[in-house]
A and B are shown apart, each in its own frame.
Chain A
Amino acid sequence: MRFSLVGPQPEHENPSSPQKVQQRDDPKFASAKMAAFQYLAVAIFLFLVTGFWELQIKSPEIYNERAERNRIKALPIVAPRGRILDRDGRVIVDNHSSWKLLLSRENLKEEHLHEIASGLHLDYDDLAKKVARYRRRPKYEPIIIKEQLTAADLAFVDSHRDPNTFPEMELIQSQSRLYPENGLLAHMIGYTGEISESELDNPDYAKYNQGQIIGKTGIEKEYNDTLMGVDGERQSIVDNLGRERQMLGIKEAKPGRNLQLTIDLDLQVVAELALGDKRGAVVALNPNNGEVLAMASRPSFDPNKFAVRIKSADWRELTSDPGNPLLNRPIQAQFAPGSTFKPLVAIAGLETGAINEDTTFHCAGGATFYGHYHGCWGTHGSVSLHKGIAQSCDTYFYNVGNQTGIYQLAFYAHQAGLGEKTGIDLPNEASGTVPSPEWKLRTQRQKWYAGETISVSIGQGALTVTPLQLARAIGGLALGGSWHAPHLLMTDTAKEKPKEWNLSPDNVKKVVYGMYAVVNEGGTGGRAKIPNVDVCGKTGSAQIASEAYEKLHKDVKDNAWFVAFAPCYKPEIVISVLWENSGLHGQFAAPIARDVIKSYFDKKARLLEVERLKQNPASVLSSALNSAMSPLPAPVAGPGTSVRPAGEAR
């Protein structure tokens, strides 16, 4: 557009001095254009005013809220999980404080992920996947990308957290689990981990939030709600660098509650050491209340590797190990109990009247039943109940089982808690199998063969038990028919009703006496003998496949079992030992049980001694002299062997 000139421009006659020329000229020639400039100025100012109007008058709330979000930051305060203690209050699982790294998604830039991943030694694909998973969640939810930062990680974060590099990185302090070393109690305690996507879809986990650390297995899972605290939050005013300027409020985290287990660390350590490299399990219970005193499973694993997220290489190593270290053998290994089942066969025979104490059978190294020859491991001649148990004569028990019948055997096995879960407070317990004609019809749609009863009589055939079931069964038998549910949590056990089936005390005494002979009268379990303690036991060596198969496959060998309790007529501890694939007779499992029982009674003696000294300080000297003459039992190796009264929690 062209503006016309207003009025003719007067020409000047003196061009020599520009200064003079202009003094005479008419500045009004452009007044319309100057007016136009004024209108332009008005328009521009109106344009600016509407800008302020829009922001400050029309919708200040939006910007107010954004200003608040800018300056107020809420950081979670992670509640420490409760500690796990042993029965004496000694710490089994503790926490240590650590740093974890969050990515704030409000200012997350995906192109930063590569560098962040490499700076923190994370897998980029994993990280990208994780970020992608959060896409449909609200923006204010941060992503936890690494826990237990190392010093190097912290250095990286500190040097890259400024607004120009990776401002999305946020550090928060947290607590991490610290599990015992060498896989001690690993299966029972379990481990924690970040809640997974699939768990989040599960209604049972609805109460948890993304990113929370929950118990994944074992006690950690079983008592997660007790152990887990309630996270707190810290609200503060921050500046553009994320530095806290002023604290607005704090909601303290509620720490999780401590959990006291019935486990006795002294016994546990002995059990673990006694098993050593052997594949197998040890379960020690107090049969009078079901408290689990020790429970070991070997080979084991390091739960600390799981504490956040296990590396895939470690996971592959664990899952591909033929020793199956993740299997919780005390409650998940189901094997034929072999001869350790014989005390139950004996009590069934006695209780049903199929036999009595004096019933004798002849062992000529085996016998033929229903057209099949069943061998014995030795030739025992004339065998009665006492000798049958002490020498573990198969021929004797073939006959007892045959005369008692499968229905009665199965009934008493069920009474003793076999074939069903014990209800221990651990996840994923196996139930084992007690075969019977109904069971076979139900599961295999086949008729029961009488010959199968003969196999079951010596704890073979389809019969399988877990080490925990076996310990509970024998313990309850020794008490005369009172089977407590085993448990790991220290509670007031008086309230819990045991499962009861009154056995004749006389019959029980006879079987117990047989088991006494196993250990103390030249029976198969002589290696479990302990001076001054009446140990009763029963060995077992169980085939896990047919003899022909075992011959072909050298790596498939018999399992060795030993089950024992002490003292004989007032048992305080019952223990079962499984040595998997040992190829040895059960007598070789007996020393493991002996070590644990010995340490139990040694500790008891020490505690009594301490009590005595407390009550009678004057006798300290004489006691010291005494102990010099006859040394006290050697202290048990392992952590925290200091003696303190049972039940006292720290």
Chain B
Amino acid sequence: MLQRGGLKDFDWAMLFIILIICSIGVLQIFSATHDTVWQGAWWKQVVYIGAGIGLMWLMTNIDYHALMQRVYPMYIVSVVLLIAVLVIGKRAFGSTRWIALPAGIHLQVSEFAKIAVVLLVARFLTEIRTEILETRDLLKLAGMVLVPMALIAKEPDLGTALTYLPILLIGVFLAGMHWKYWATIALVALVVVPIGFSHLEPYQKGRIVSFLDPERDPQGNGYQLIQSKIAVGSGGTWGKGVTKGTQTQLRFLPVPHTDFIFSAFAEEHGFVGVMFVLVLYFVLLMQVVQDGQTAPDRAGMYLCMGVGALLLFHILVNVGMVVGRMPVTGIPLPLMSYGGSSIWSTFLMLGLVNSVRVRRFVN
């Protein structure tokens, strides 16, 4: 169902914003790694972005309805791959998140499974016939989202697992649900969270405890949070300049080219730089929401809003962590953090949004 005329509608403005954010990310990756073993990372990131643009283009040209028709096989393949990760995956940094492909590529399956889940939620919700969500449907949907979440949490990668929740929540919210359900969910959460806490890995518990009081253990679990706050705070209004951030350059800041890239950026570019990038993210997000609002059908709307919620959650958790307002979780900042899986999955999702956009006038 390729609509040639629709390509004129490709959101060039959005691509422009995406490329600015990506360029800032590449610059920051360069700055943070220029005298480390990662010093080639910025160049690789450029390649990832180039490929990402290709993927986005491809995605835009595929009718999302066609994808939604094949969502169940996609979902099943994703779950099988997530199980495969647990069985044959590559261990790094204490958890198993990657599958090694030939040519030295390591794919983080959990990043791509998101797309299947976004499509799945959209398809499921467009198919229900009732005015608001019934219990049976809610449980069915939640169950289908929880399966990949549980597999990812088992890796263990609680942060990425949690990014699946906003997809479910925004869908359910938009579809409409009786307030009693919301109340029930809130109650269940109140019970489950403390029990769940006691089942967390020690390092995960430590992260949450130290988030509440980082100075309690400044060398251990609080270290990353404190160092990140120091990096951000010492950046001041104008920042210390590219490759001049002491926290970044002297490695006091952990992983300054991946999870803490925004912290490194804030140190070197200050409040002014931070505002600039946050505004870009905000505009990008609003465009995604707008594409949802102008979508030709519910499926398109659910897709856009699912992607939007996912982006917002990533930004909230990652940037919130950087300023010490969220616990430390290993989730990347979309478009800026170094890593092919994250970049590609983000571009794919934004391609999906564009696929909805270019078909908004189709009748």
The residues of A with any CB-CB pair to B shorter than 8 Å are 1-3, 5, 9, 15, 18-19, 21-31, 33-34, 37-38, 40-42, 44-45, 47-49, 51-57, 59-60, 62-64, 66-68, 70-71, 107, 109, 163, 167, 237-241, 245
List B residues at the A interface (Cβ < 8 Å): 65, 68-69, 123, 126-127, 129, 131-132, 170, 173-179, 182, 218-220, 227, 229-237, 246-247, 250-252, 266, 270-271, 274-275, 278, 281-282, 285-286, 289, 292-293, 295-301, 305, 308-309, 312, 315-316, 319-320, 323-325, 362-363
Given A66-B234, A109-B219: A48 in contact with B251 (beta carbons within 8 A): no
Contact A48 B126 (CB under 8 A): no
Q: Is the CB of B235 within 8 A of A22?
A: no
**Cα distance, A18 to B275, chains bound together (Å):** 43
What would 24 A/B residue contacts be, using CB atoms closer than 8 Å?
A2-B178, A19-B65, A26-B298, A27-B293, A29-B298, A41-B308, A47-B325, A48-B278, A48-B315, A48-B323, A48-B325, A56-B232, A56-B270, A60-B233, A60-B234, A63-B229, A63-B230, A63-B231, A63-B233, A66-B230, A68-B246, A71-B246, A107-B219, A237-B250
- In contact, A56 and B308 (Cβ under 8 angstroms): no
Q: Does the CB pair B250–A239 fall under 8 Å?
A: yes
A56-B301 in contact (CB<8A)? no
The answer to whether residues A56 and B233 also contact, given A25-B297, A34-B292 and a CB cut-off of 8 A, is: yes
Chain A residues, CB < 8 A from B174: 30, 33-34
Contact B232 A70 (CB under 8 A): no
Contact of A27 among B297, B315, B363 (CB under 8 A): B297
Taken together as a complex, chains A and B put the C-alpha atoms of A240 and B231 apart, in Å, by 13
Evaluate contact between A19 and B68: CB separation under 8 angstroms. yes
Known contacts A2-B178, A48-B316: A60-B325 contact under CB 8 Å: no
Which residue of chain B is the closest to A64 with respect to CB atoms?
B234
**In the bound complex, CA of A59 to CA of B232 (Å):** 11
Distance A291 CA – B42 CA, assembled complex (angstroms) = 77
Tally of A-B Cβ pairs under 8 angstroms:
177
Which 8 A-B residue pairs are closest in the complex by CB-CB distance?
Answer: A63-B233, A51-B323, A67-B234, A55-B233, A2-B179, A60-B236, A56-B271, A239-B250
| Docked-complex contact B323 and A52, CB < 8 angstroms | yes
For residue B230, which residues in chain A have a CB less than 8 angstroms away from its CB? 63, 66-67, 70
User: Which chain A positions have C-beta within 8 A of B235?
Assistant: 56, 60
| Alpha-carbon distance between A15 and B127 when the two chains are bound, in angstroms | 9
Most buried by B among A27, A41, A59: A27
Bound state CA distance, A64 and B267, in angstroms? Answer: 10
Question: Which residues of chain A have C-beta atoms less than 8 A from B251's C-beta?
Answer: 239-241
User: What's the Cα separation between A9 and B293 when bound, in Å?
Assistant: 16
- With a cutoff of 8 Å between Cβ atoms, the chain A residues found around residue B231 in the complex are 63, 67
Q: Is the CB of B234 within 8 A of A44?
A: no
A109 to B, closest residue via Cβ: B219
B250 touches A27 (CB 8 A): no
User: Which B residues touch A54, using CB under 8 A?
Assistant: 323
Q: How far is the CA of A430 from the CA of B68 in the complex (A)?
A: 103
- Please name all residues of chain A whose beta carbon is closer than 8 Å to the beta carbon of B234 when the two chains form the complex: 60, 63-64, 66-67
**Minimum Cβ distance to chain A for residue B224 (Å):** 11
Closest to B356 in A: A27
B293 x A31 contact (CB < 8 A)? yes
Distance between B216 CB and nearest chain A CB, rounded to angstroms: 12
Query: A59 CA to B233 CA in the complex, in Å?
Result: 7
Residues on B with beta carbons closer than 8 Å to the beta carbon of A3: 173, 176
B286 touches A38 (CB 8 A): yes
A433 and B40 CA atoms in complex are apart in Å by 86
Which B residue's beta carbon lies closest to that of A12? B129
* Bound-state Cα–Cα, A23 to B292, Å: 14
How many angstroms from the CA of A501 to the CA of B154 in the assembled complex?
100
Supply 9 further A-B pairs (C-beta < 8 A) apart from A56-B270, A71-B250.
A1-B182, A3-B176, A23-B297, A31-B293, A56-B236, A57-B236, A64-B233, A68-B246, A107-B219
In contact, A22 and B299 (Cβ under 8 angstroms) = yes
In the assembled complex, the CB of A541 is this many whole angstroms from the nearest CB of chain B, namely 70
In the complex, which residues of chain B have a beta carbon less than 8 angstroms from the beta carbon of A64?
A: 233-234, 236
Q: Which residues of A contact B170 (CB under 8 A)?
A: 37
Residues of A near B177 (CB, < 8 A) are 2
Of the candidates A63, A107, A237, A245, which one forms a contact with B232 in the assembled complex, judged by CB atoms under 8 Å apart?
Answer: A63
Among A40, A66, A237, contact of B312 (Cβ-Cβ < 8 Å): A40
Is there an interface contact between B250 and A41, defined as CB atoms closer than 8 Å? no
